[in-house]
Amino acid sequence: MIKLFSLKEQSKGQEAAGGANKNAKKTTAAQLRITKDISDLQLPKTLKVEFPDKDDLQNIQLTICPDEGIYRNGKFTFSIKISNGYPHEPPKVKCLPKIYHPNIDYEGNVCLNILREDWKPVLTISAVVYGLQYLLLEPNADDPLNKEAADLMVRNPAQFHTNVAESMKGKSVAGHKFDKVVS
């Protein structure tokens, strides 16, 4: 379980100690919501959340190590950036290694409906984390960012699986060199 100090408790502590310091940063609604979302996360062993800067909860690194599906045995890191507009605005997500996937382009942009038009303020960081995990377990050829990979997935599944396996080893596929994500 992730252990984080509560920003809300910190604010209360400052008030109890004689009022808020004029130079102290105000705790935003987004920070309070992020703190709650993160404290509620219960992740399986295939998912890991880290904070590159322990004082910045709005920048998260998620590592997914699928234990099933065609991306099995890979290690995929995603950068999740949360704006001050959260939860009214979805987080911005990038896949850090270059991978061959119908829903992730070569620049790391991710096509996931809850990160766009289907985002609702009731959704949490957990929904984003599990949505990304699901993309690695069940790529969606109907809503692609990498149209060539999506087309191949539908037209020739065996070749698509071969391309995924080769790309995960850090080899070149379809004229693109990929990052090695398997040991």
Q: What is the largest CA-CA distance in the chain?
A: 68
Supply angle C-alpha 137, 138, 141, rounded to 5: 145
Report the distance separating Cα 174 and Cα 159, nearest Å. 11
Q: Are strands 92-95 and 76-81 parallel, antiparallel or unpaired?
A: antiparallel
Q: What is the pLDDT of residue 27?
A: 84
Q: Print the SS3 string covering 2-15.
A: CCCCCHHHHHHHHH
CA 167 – CA 162 distance, rounded (Å): 9
Query: Residue 109: left (phi > 0), alpha (psi -120 to 50), or beta?
Result: beta
Task: Report, as ranges of residue numbers, the positions in the chain whose pLDDT lies below 50.
Answer: 1-8, 10-12, 14-15, 18, 20-23
Q: Render pLDDT for 75-126 as a digit per residue (tens, 0 to 9).
A: 999 999 999 999 999 999 999 999 999 999 999 999 999 999 999 999 999 9
pLDDT score recorded for residue 7: 46
Structure confidence at residue 40 (pLDDT)? 95
The answer to whether 168 and 60 are in contact (CB under 8 A) is: no
Right CATH number for 42-177 from 3.40.50.300, 1.10.260.40, 3.10.110.10, 3.40.50.2300? 3.10.110.10
What pLDDT does 183 receive? Answer: 80
Strands (E), the chain: 47-50, 59-64, 76-81, 92-95, 172-173, 176-177
Angle at 112 between CA 97 and CA 34, to 5 degrees: 85
The pLDDT of residue 128 is 98
Three-state DSSP at 24 gives coil
The pLDDT value given to residue 83:
96
The catalytic residue positions are 111
- Domain positions in the chain are 42-177
